Structure 1
Amino acid sequence: MASIGLFQLVLMLLVLLLILVPILVVRRRAKARRASPARPSPPRPSFPPAAPASAAPVAATPVSPAPYSGPATPISGPATPISAPPVAAPVSPAAVRFPDPAMPAGRGAHLGIDFGTSNTVAVLRTADGRHLPLLFDGSPVLPSAVFAADDGRLAVGRDALHLARTAPERLEPAPKRCIDDGHLLLGGDEHAVPAVIGAVLARVLTEARRTLDGATPAVTVTHPAAWGPARRETLLAAAERAGVAAAELLPEPVAAARFLTRLHGTVVAPGGAIAVYDFGAGTFDATVLVHRGGRFDVAATEGLGDTGGRDIDAALLDEVARVYAARDAATWQRLERPATAADRRARWTLLDDVRNAKEMLSRASSTLLYVPLFDDELLLAREQLEAVAAPIVERTVAATKSALWTAGPAASTVAAVFLVGGASRLPLATTALHRAIGVTPTTLERPETVVAEGAAA
């Protein structure tokens, strides 16, 4: 019994030690931490105080982009399109600053404007050599449309198209076509053609000045190669109305050739020729240029003033009409000849969707087209688009062959055929050209900006 009692006492002592020892260790460590000196906190980074809202922005020195070594390959596909020299990252035009804060923002900057029949595109070359497409309401494409308000003011671009939904008689959708008219009648009021075109150029110049902190850059405006002195004088008068006293004029195909050789790096031997296939929204031009003495001279040009991407839109709309007019002629008549504000809005919606469907069918094999008033969706296939577009594309191919024939021996060996203009994205155009002239056309990543890029170079 005595041995059992002793065993129990030893066991109790061991249990007590197991409880007390950890407690003593924890208390000893806490006491040691309190006795040790406090470690200094790491210093916080020092930031300069924020400048007040009224202070002038501080000019930052951008890093110059690496020299262009060739066309960039997009992630979206294996093809290697031609593009402008890449920059380090997309830059918001409003954020552009120049290397030397003491230099006026506009010095060394150059604005290239491709004033088109249906759309206008502009590219700004900054003092440090970057090329920035100007954005208009978030898009690099500005509709050339002009709307005359009741008070005489001229609205441009998407604003003009929006206002025209309720007063279409006050809209001129393509002022370039009116270059010879002298005056335009918009809503009962006459407006001089230079003033109407000048409103478009002024809208572009406003965006450029915003990019350059209010400074005005040097300006080059392009025009068709076939334009004579009278039309060029009207364009210069429009530039003066826009606030440009000494604009330079440059033929559109020459600007395209400048882009292809200076920025893209296309090599054309002296005496060699290139063909520019310019398929825009409102017009088409085919031009053959010959490389002589370090410059490109126009050897021949053929223009179609009534052929463009909008004509393909109209042909596609006729295909839609064939389906829905047979289903309900009265409802389709409301879309064809709208008499109320609601019907006019429905027609504008349909026209926009037809254009978007055409553009999507250049990338996809099929798409759906919503038809207002019928509240229906029509399935369209690329084969349908190509069937209605084929006669229009064949006209452009015939004009291109005519320009090559007119150029004579200079065009016997064409180094390249370049497709520019938004409508040239149509795959049928590439196929038809290759079949007709035996030269594989070079498609461009951003065909609508090529002429403006060359004008700014």
Structure 2
Amino acid sequence: MAVYGIDLGTTYSCIASIDRVNRAEVHRSGEGADTTPSVVFFETPDNVVVGQHAKDSAVIKPDLVISRIKRDIGQEVVRTLHGKPYTPEEISALILRKLAEDAQVATGETVSDVVITVPAYFGAAERDATRKAGRIARLNVIDIVSEPVAAAITYGVLNPQEDCHILVYDLGGGTFDTTVMALRGGDIEVVCTDGDHELGGADWDDQLVEHLAERFRREHADVGDPLDKGETEQDLRKIAEDLKKTLSAKVKHTVRVMHEGRATTVEMTREEFESITRNLLERTLEITRRTMETARAKGVTTFDHLVLVGGLSKMPAVAETLQKELGLTPQLQDPDLAVAKGAALYAFEETYRRLLSSGERDKAEAMALESGLSGTQRRQIEGRTIKTVASRAFGIITTRGSTRESYVAHLVHANDSLPASVTEGFQTLDDNQVSVAIRVMEQAGSVESEVVENNNQIGEGELRIPPGKPKGFPIEVTFALDASGLLHVTARENEQGGQLDLDIQIGGMSEEEVASSQTALSRIRVE
């Protein structure tokens, strides 16, 4: 019974599973590559193309091509293609379907049970939306796991005897995270995490695109701006991405920018490229320093290894700058594939443990036998634990009675150990109050703040209060954040054994909408 790990990336995605000798194996796309561009081309209302061919089509039909959808996941954003609206969850589901169908062709087995990775800094809404995207793709999402945790699993498997503290620097196509983890006897414990889910390789591309366009504008001031025409902009984006990758291997490279029959030749050195994008690398350093300071405050004073993952971490400037700034020697850990491989290992081990805990030992043993697990490896998996932390602070809007000033009272704080369950008491403000508005808030900035504007609302509901109650009538609010970072909120009033419960629906899509999307997308052919 195969289970799969999926790295659902901003720019590229990947799927893997465990082979017959207990190694994580990446399954190639239908185009023969280890990774699939996270790009969707809505060729017709009933046919979509996902991957490299979709990416190539962006130059010709940019209005029908969607990329970087991961940056919108968990938000109420709608894209309209061929007159039909699509949510980020639905577009992500099409990418997941492509990965699953390609893996099915490669293995001859139906892909059903999966673990999907997300950036460590993703909040509750993004994690819940990612799970729903998997369900819309008709996949059974066993769990959602943070990308650095998946990378650490890969690292731990390759270095099973070593107890250490590692700092994972994960610079992907659209997101950036840093995470400090402790590896002890095969167990993994996340100490703290930080990041920015709008910082990644796509931003390096954007700055290169602007630089190339500016060079063209200076040389051809009498023609239109190349960024005003969709086809030219998409062509520039392809040139920029290729240039970025080339300058990781070469110290200089020449490209041509074409627009309205004119051409500009641009020779760029690696040094110039690094200078243009230095501000972006510096932002990653600021977050990394902050993460290390948080770790030190939690008792981690030394860092044994600096592990680099994410495709952009292959840029020479990353390793050079980190070694100079942090005094640690970076280790490239299979940067493009480590997350998918770790997710596959996690999916396998989690499924094995769940079968054992549910009494299905025969199935667990068959699974272990098929994957060539030794007795020692089986015992290690049974005993292994993975502990993680909250990526952000979560709370509700409440009011100071004397001033009626609204503020956010956080019940769960960033880097609290997970799973977490916190209950706090609140009171009504007025006599005969008939209801209480429960507005669930999530930390928006890099630091926790009680200012309402510095938080994002991720859920809301209304708790009914029994009639005739004086002000100060007590209510309880419970925040339960599970190990995957998914949040469940309950508000209740307790009087003579009675209670009212309120379940907050986190994420943009309801269960009914998920079911409807499943049906609608099943009619679309994915290539």
TM-score (norm 1): 0.69
Determine whether 1:454 maps to 2:342. yes
Superposition deviation, residue 232 in structure 1: 2.5
Return 252-261 or 111-120, whichever deviates more: 111-120
Q: Deviations over 1:421-444 (max 9, x none)?
A: 111111111111112211111123
Find the aligned partners of 2:107 and 2:181 in 1 and give their Cα distance: 34
After superposition, the CA RMSD in angstroms is: 2.2
Superposition deviation, residue 265 in structure 1: 1.7
Superposition deviation, residue 133 in structure 1: 2.1
1:353 is matched with 239
2:194 is matched with 302
DSSP-derived class of the 1:448 partner: coil
Is the strand fraction higher in 1 or 2? 2
Find the aligned partners of 1:307 and 1:245 in 2 and give their Cα distance: 30
Identity across aligned pairs (percent)? 27
TM-aligned CA distance change 1:292 to 1:261, over 3 Å? closer
1:405 is matched with 293
1:337 is matched with 228
DSSP-derived class of the 1:300 partner: strand
Superposition deviation, residue 377 in structure 1: 3.1
1:387 is matched with 275
Find the aligned partners of 2:19 and 2:100 in 1 and give their Cα distance: 14
Report the AA paired with residue 281 of structure 1.
G
Find the aligned partners of 1:366 and 1:123 in 2 and give their Cα distance: 35
Report the AA paired with residue 435 of structure 1.
K
Aligned mate of 2:5, from 112, 122, 128: 112
Query: 2:8·2:116 contact (CA, 8 Å) conserved in 1?
Result: yes
Q: Deviations over 1:372-407 (max 9, x none)?
A: 233443221111111112111111011111111112
TM-aligned CA distance change 1:124 to 1:454, over 3 Å? same
Aligned mate of 1:420, from 309, 319, 339: 309
Report the AA paired with residue 145 of structure 1.
V
DSSP-derived class of the 2:336 partner: helix
Equivalent residues in 2 for 1:163-312, closer than 5 Å? 163-182=57-76, 184-187=78-81, 188-216=83-111, 218-262=113-157, 264-265=158-159, 267-269=161-163, 272-292=164-184, 294-312=186-204
TM-aligned CA distance change 1:375 to 1:266, over 3 Å? farther
Superposition deviation, residue 153 in structure 1: 4.2
TM-aligned CA distance change 1:395 to 1:266, over 3 Å? farther
2:479 is matched with none
TM-aligned CA distance change 1:145 to 1:427, over 3 Å? same
Find the aligned partners of 1:292 and 1:230 in 2 and give their Cα distance: 31
Aligned mate of 1:362, from 248, 256, 268: 248
Superposition deviation, residue 217 in structure 1: 5.8
TM-aligned CA distance change 1:258 to 1:198, over 3 Å? same
Determine whether 1:438 maps to 2:327. yes
Find the aligned partners of 2:202 and 2:270 in 1 and give their Cα distance: 17
Superposition deviation, residue 418 in structure 1: 0.6
Q: Deviations over 1:339-361 (max 9, x none)?
A: xxxxx444333321221111111
TM-aligned CA distance change 1:174 to 1:319, over 3 Å? closer
TM-aligned CA distance change 1:228 to 1:349, over 3 Å? closer
Find the aligned partners of 2:24 and 2:180 in 1 and give their Cα distance: 26
Q: Deviations over 1:317-373 (max 9, x none)?
A: 33323332111024461x2111xxxxx444333321221111111111111112223
Find the aligned partners of 1:266 and 1:398 in 2 and give their Cα distance: 31
TM-aligned CA distance change 1:168 to 1:320, over 3 Å? closer
Is the helix fraction higher in 1 or 2? 1
Report the AA paired with residue 126 of structure 2.
R
Report the AA paired with residue 437 of structure 1.
L
Superposition deviation, residue 218 in structure 1: 3.6
Superposition deviation, residue 182 in structure 1: 4.0
Find the aligned partners of 1:127 and 1:240 in 2 and give their Cα distance: 28
DSSP-derived class of the 1:367 partner: strand
